[in-house]
Amino acid sequence: MGKIIIQNREYSFEQIKNQQWSEPDLYFHQALTFCHLWLTDVQDFELSTSGSTGEPKTITVFRQQMEKSAAGTRAFFEIERGSNLLCCLNVWMIAGKMMLVRGLEWDATIYLVQPKENPLLDIPDFISFDFVAMVPMQVTACLNETSTLDKVKNIKTLIIGGAPSSPSLLQKITDFKLNAYQTYGMTETVSHIALAKITQEALTYTCLPEVKVGTDGEGKLWIESPTAREKRLYTNDIVKILNDSQFEWIGRSDFTINSGGIKLQPEILEPLMASTVEKIYGLCNFFLIGKEDEKLGEKMVLVLEQPLKNESQAQDLLNELKTVMNRYHIPREILIATSFMKTASGKINRPATLKKAR
């Protein structure tokens, strides 16, 4: 029988099933309450979608979907029962809940910590993990902190989701030889349905067992998965299908910018200009987005997370981009937002950020 460890307190799954715990902190209390419901065979759960491209919505997810997701991940990585897991994601969202479900289904030891930028800071050096899920921001923080670098390098299997990893993070992961995978999934598929090993090569996503993929007439991905309620789930993601179980992700169709008849895909262009942005502004968050334009219909603008706008610096960046980018791929305007708006799951809310950018 597995257990959950919170700081120096341990609760066996049997104790959690019988509600034998005392956790005044609301976050830990709600996490253990979810585990109690799972262990007492509750069959359906209400979850909130991330709201990355629209308003968040509440959906009902059935126990069988979550069980199949956990089983698919275990089969993909051949994870042994009784492994050590770290749950450092928000347990109110699907990613955090699925880490708890995996641990419960795998009879694992689950180390439960508050979701924060560097979740390994308070983990003792002698503890190592077999399986961990993080968002890109957390992996970056762990790699940049001397005291946690070895800890993250010692993780047997690390999966990264919630948002695409930046080119600089992907490079660090390969430099440090982490056994890390970028995930593809959504709340409607109950966490990931495909994983891509992070290497020097382009990310190739391989589906979990029993998952099939294809595209519609516009090149948008459809998914057939035992973890989804729909027989065939249609997405807004543009992909390149390699075979019935592998694909390359290109970007979201709802992020596509139609500028004077030229279609521009931000997720393709952002990595290409990342090193140039860093050269002028240093490491900072940025994204490309379409802004209404009377002549072009939409114009592509670059939004940077910066405290102040410096016109000279912005012009320097545009001049540098002109030397490395196709002229159609250069932003028509550079905007500054002091802080990026985020969705409930921590993703950048591009439309909301654009509204406050100047």
Helix 136-144 vs helix 167-175: crossing angle, to nearest 10: 50
* pLDDT at residue number 52: 46
Within 79-166, residue ranges assigned H as helices are 94-105, 136-144, 146-153
pLDDT tens digit sequence for 200-245: 888 999 999 999 999 998 889 999 999 998 899 999 899 999 998 9
Alpha-carbon span 246 to 123, nearest angstrom: 36
Max mean pLDDT range (7-11, 163-167, 341-345): 7-11
For residue 304, how many other CB atoms are within 10 A of its CB? 21
pLDDT tens digit sequence for 26-79: 999 999 999 999 999 999 998 776 554 445 668 889 999 999 999 999 999 999
Parse the chain into domains and list their residue ranges. 3-205, 256-356
Q: Confirm whether 3-205 and 256-356 share one CATH topology.
A: no
330, amino acid identity: I
Note the CATH number of domain 3-205. Answer: 3.40.50.12780
Alpha-carbon span 78 to 71, nearest angstrom: 10
Note the CATH number of domain 256-356. Answer: 3.30.300.30
Least confident of 11-15, 20-24, 44-48, 333-337: 44-48
On whether the CB atoms of residues 163 and 186 are closer than 8 A, the answer is no
Find how far residue 53's CA is from the centre of its chain: 14
Beta bridge partners of 335: 303
pLDDT-derived band of residue 259, with 50, 70 and 90 as boundaries? confident
